[in-house]
Structure 1
Amino acid sequence: MIALLLALGSSLAYGSADFLGGLGARKAHVLLTVIIVAPASLAVELLLWPVLGASFSTTTLGWGTASGVASTAAFALLYRTLAIGPMNVLSPVTALVSAALPVGVGLAQGEHLAVAGLAGLPLALVAVVLVSAGHGTGSVRPSRRALLLALGAGAAIALQLIFLHQAPSDSGVAPLIVGRAVSSAVTLAVAGAMWRRLGSERPAYAMSAAAGVLDAAANLMFLLAARSGDLTVVAVIVALYPAGTILLARAVLAERIHRSQLVGLGTAAVAVGLLALT
């Protein structure tokens, strides 16, 4: 139950962070947003170090670095995807891909589910599909380029979660710190090399920093959930994060929620209930 609650919290935090990051990327080049988001996330994780501890073994450094590289790609691809829009179509597509890969890894590593979990897991994946089925902005459909970006973002998110899960369970927040330090360094280096091509628009500083804080909270809750539960269950619950993005897009941007997306949200609630019984 604790793992499930942490996964739900992580899902809500990811969804909110993605909404703010995608919205910020509409105001300036995506890299200008990411160079604020990543360091803000790192700052929060460094503050958590004295509280939760950290052990920087060679294995932890390796998996943390790998997660940081994947996170850098995820940031850039996802925020660019959401900037192109529509958010309430592309975000669920990304989530579906980000769920499938960790679930496959968890099953391959020998994780087993109870009867309720065997029903809840596919139902949760169906919920993600239903949420992604609605074209919430009416006649507006995503371009092929936007869909490819969404698929790439989903794969990068999945790899980040898988790499974090592989880090030693007694490493504290070290994998998060290493990952965010790497992603911050890579992002700043790329932004520095491309500085003249980033445009003169001012990034949304407060919005981007808030996205970074929420991202740090989401990463922490995922890590704790994965350590206390099965990756198969935790990953699919976290993959429901588009619900938060969609609801915020509806409230702030007046993007329409399609009927199938509403059914998907209801299906997700049932799936979470079943998974809670495992």
Structure 2
Amino acid sequence: MFALLLALGSSLAYGCADFFGGLGARKAHALRTVVVAAPASLAVELVLWPLLGASFSPATLGWGAASGLASAAAFVLLYRTLAIGPMNVLSPVTALVSAALPAGVGLLQSEHLAVAGILGLPLALVAVVLVSTGPGTGATRPSRGALLLAFGAGAAIAGQLIFLHQAPSDSGVAPLIIGRAVSSAITLAAAGLLHRALGPERPAYAMSAAAGALDSVANLLFLLAARGGDLAVVAVIVALYPAGTVLLACGVTAERVHRGQLLGLGTAAVAVSLLAAT
């Protein structure tokens, strides 16, 4: 039950991070937002180091670096995906893949679910799709290339979660620090190479830093949840992060929540209740 609460907290933090990151990206190029968010995220993890400890074993370094590479790839693929195709189709594809792959890995690693979990897991996957889906006319179909990118983005997000889960359980926050250092280095290098193409706009420093700090909190809560519970359950709950973004957009920027998303929120509540009973 405690792992489930941590997963819900991680999902909410990821959703809030996406909300602030999205607002920041409206002010300037998305890469400029990440240039601020990534160091802020790393700073939070360094503050957590003396509190939660960190053990930098070879296995931790390897899995942490792999998670950082996956995180950097996820950023590039996700924004490219949403730039070339209909978001209301591609976003749920990405979210579903990011949930299903870690769930599959968890089940392959001999994780067992009770009857309630067997019912709740597919229901949660349905909720992931519903809360991720935005309103659309249905007239635009994504190209095959856009769908492949969406699958790639989801796979990269899933890879980050899986690699963090594979890190030694006694490594503290070391996998997070290594992962964020790697992804930050890649992002900063990309920003330096593409400096002229990013435009003159300055990033929204406060919102970008908030997005980075919340992302660190989300990563930490996921790591703790995965260490204390089943990856199959934790990953699916975490993938409900669009619900947090939807609720914030509704309350802060007065965006409308359409019927499908409301249905998704209700479905998520039922799914979480079933998973909590496992």
TM-score (norm 2): 0.91
**Corresponding residue for 2:61?**
61
**Corresponding residue for 2:18?**
18
Residues 16-57 of structure 1, C-alpha deviations (whole Å, 9 max, x = no match):
101111222222222111111111110000000000000000
Instruction: Tell me if the contact between 1:138 and 1:256 (Cα under 8 Å) persists in the aligned partners.
Output: no
Residues 55-88 of structure 1, C-alpha deviations (whole Å, 9 max, x = no match):
0000000000000011112233335556789877
Instruction: Tell me if the contact between 1:21 and 1:79 (Cα under 8 Å) persists in the aligned partners.
Output: no
Q: 1:146 to 1:29 in 2, by over 3 A?
A: farther
Q: 1:87 to 1:215 in 2, by over 3 A?
A: farther
1:136 aligns with 2:135: yes
Instruction: Tell me if the contact between 1:22 and 1:80 (Cα under 8 Å) persists in the aligned partners.
Output: no
Residue 156 of structure 1 and its aligned partner are, at CA, apart by: 1.2
CA–CA separation in structure 1 for the residues paired with 2:245 and 2:146: 17
- Counting aligned pairs with the same residue, the percent is 79
Instruction: Tell me if the contact between 2:90 and 2:142 (Cα under 8 Å) persists in the aligned partners.
Output: no
**Corresponding residue for 2:245?**
245
Residue 204 of structure 1 and its aligned partner are, at CA, apart by: 1.2
Higher mean C-alpha deviation, range 107-116 or range 82-91: 82-91
CA–CA separation in structure 1 for the residues paired with 2:208 and 2:60: 28
Q: 1:46 to 1:86 in 2, by over 3 A?
A: farther
Q: 1:234 to 1:215 in 2, by over 3 A?
A: same
**Corresponding residue for 2:113?**
113
Residue 129 of structure 1 and its aligned partner are, at CA, apart by: 2.5
Residue 139 of structure 1 and its aligned partner are, at CA, apart by: 7.2
Question: What pairs with 1:173-212 in structure 2 (closer than 5 Å)?
Answer: 173-212=173-212
TM-score (norm 1): 0.91
Q: Which runs of 5+ in 1 are unaligned?
A: none
Q: Tell me the amino acid that sits aligned with residue 28 of structure 1.
A: A
Question: What pairs with 1:127-276 in structure 2 (closer than 5 Å)?
Answer: 127-133=127-133, 135-136=134-135, 144=143, 149-276=149-276
Q: Which runs of 5+ in 2 are unaligned?
A: none
Instruction: Tell me if the contact between 1:11 and 1:238 (Cα under 8 Å) persists in the aligned partners.
Output: yes
CA–CA separation in structure 1 for the residues paired with 2:59 and 2:221: 21
Higher mean C-alpha deviation, range 25-34 or range 154-163: 25-34
Q: 1:29 to 1:50 in 2, by over 3 A?
A: same
Residue 149 of structure 1 and its aligned partner are, at CA, apart by: 4.6
Residue 150 of structure 1 and its aligned partner are, at CA, apart by: 3.8
Q: Tell me the amino acid that sits aligned with residue 260 of structure 1.
A: G
Question: What pairs with 1:1-150 in structure 2 (closer than 5 Å)?
Answer: 1-79=1-79, 90-133=90-133, 135-136=134-135, 144=143, 149-150=149-150
Residue 146 of structure 1 and its aligned partner are, at CA, apart by: 6.2
CA–CA separation in structure 2 for the residues paired with 1:193 and 1:186: 11
Q: Tell me the amino acid that sits aligned with residue 12 of structure 1.
A: L
Residue 142 of structure 1 and its aligned partner are, at CA, apart by: 7.9
Q: Aligned Cα RMSD in Å? A: 2.2
